[in-house]
Amino acid sequence: MSIEVRGISKSFGPTRVLKEIDLRIETGELVALLGPSGSGKTTLLRIIAGMEHADPGGGSVLFDGQDITAQGIGDRRIGFVFQHYALFKNMSVFENIAFGLRSKPWRSRPDAAQIKSKVDALLDLIQLGSLAQRYPSQLSGGQRQRVALARALAVEPRVLLLDEPFGALDATVRRELRRWLRRLHETIHVTTIFVTHDQEEALEVSDRVAVMRAGQIEQFGSPQEVYENPASPFVFQFLGHYNVFSARGQVADAPLSAGGGEGALTLVRPHDVVVSRNGNDRDAIPARVLHVGLVGPLVRVELERLDRKESIDAELTSEASKELALKPGDSVFVTSRHEHSFEDYSI
């Protein structure tokens, strides 16, 4: 089912947390809402779910082209998974997944055999068939979230809304689960919105990413698009480490998200920084090596610019680093392999 949000605005007291949001998600798509804390991701998700309502006259929500703004949560057929496991502690995994099916109105309620076969199929899908009789306290955090997802899927939702579903798990489990979720999505193809503030997670899991900032969508595109062609310095900054190579006016000293000041801004990712011993390129920036450290297969070099008081982070391959044999105090020159320029951008 497609989801369309038109001109959604929401205020809590005097604070406007969503500002005329437009967003269209196609049937079967998995879209990540990515943004810093407080940017309005959860509020938008809750409005789509019907748990919260937009301001009066503050826009509409459409499912498959039909305006459902006035509909309550019970009529929207939505599956929801939150960061904190909402499993029933006194019910087994099986009972937890069966819960939604048993709570259906009697006319559409499946019988015991149908429930069993449905729950068994879902247990297979989440690869936890052998744990059907366990209780939530006997599961790992990752397993609990998989059960929560199966429970949300049991009632065949038209839309799946996931609010930081892996937020409480450690980094390794998170990584495993997001790959698992991606594979699962390719099997079930339910239109899914995934809220996260973790850029790696958003880029890896989704078909498209909506980058949110202060109640607005700053960019909506495929992971590759937003990463390679960020629409603004904010998006660039939010998607990974960066260096400011050149900036006009006040911008150089201001944090990118601070606001105020206009200027041409050139930003470079650490892996696009090229370090050399000679300054043949006339745009080369003279710098001094401050620190050389190993980060996995890459070597991270911290440099201090000589033309202005700023540092540059570079990530070199171990071959490049060996060839250069850098050590603290060395004088070098810095250029970029690839850079992003934002002309007259107000930040």
Q: Give the interface with ligand ATP as residue ranges (CB under 6 A).
A: 12, 17, 35, 37-43, 197
Rounded Cα distance, 275 and 277, in Å: 7
CB of 253 to ligand ATP, least distance (A): 28
Tell me whether residue 43 or residue 191 sits nearer to ligand ATP (CB atom).
Answer: 43
Q: Which pairs with CB-CB distance under 8 Å and at least 24 residues apart come from 139-147?
A: 139/93, 140/173, 141/85, 141/168, 141/169, 141/173, 142/166, 142/169, 142/173, 142/176, 142/177, 144/85, 144/87, 145/81, 145/85, 145/169, 145/177, 146/177, 146/180, 147/87, 147/93, 147/96, 147/97
Kindly state the helix (H) or strand (E) to which residue 111 belongs, with its residue range. Answer: none
Tell me whether residue 40 or residue 50 sits nearer to ligand ATP (CB atom).
Answer: 40
Cβ neighbours of 41 (radius 10 Å): 24
- Tokens read off for 127: 């690869």
Tell me whether residue 39 or residue 206 sits nearer to ligand ATP (CB atom).
Answer: 39
CB of 215 to ligand ATP, least distance (A): 7
User: Residue holding tokens 């992003």?
Assistant: 340
The DSSP 8-state label assigned to residue 105 in this structure reads -
CB of 312 to ligand ATP, least distance (A): 30
CB of 166 within 8 A of CB of 177? yes
Tell me whether residue 12 or residue 88 sits nearer to ligand ATP (CB atom).
Answer: 12
- Provide the residue type at 141 as one letter: G
Tell me whether residue 1 or residue 17 sits nearer to ligand ATP (CB atom).
Answer: 17
Separate counts of helices (H) and strands (E) for the chain: 9, 18
Kindly state the helix (H) or strand (E) to which residue 196 belongs, with its residue range. Answer: strand 191-196
CB of 34 to ligand ATP, least distance (A): 9
Tell me whether residue 144 or residue 197 sits nearer to ligand ATP (CB atom).
Answer: 197
Each residue of 75-84: b (16+ CB within 10 Å) or e?
ebebbbbbbe
Tell me whether residue 167 or residue 279 sits nearer to ligand ATP (CB atom).
Answer: 167
CB of 12 to ligand ATP, least distance (A): 3
CB of 7 to ligand ATP, least distance (A): 17
CB of 41 to ligand ATP, least distance (A): 4
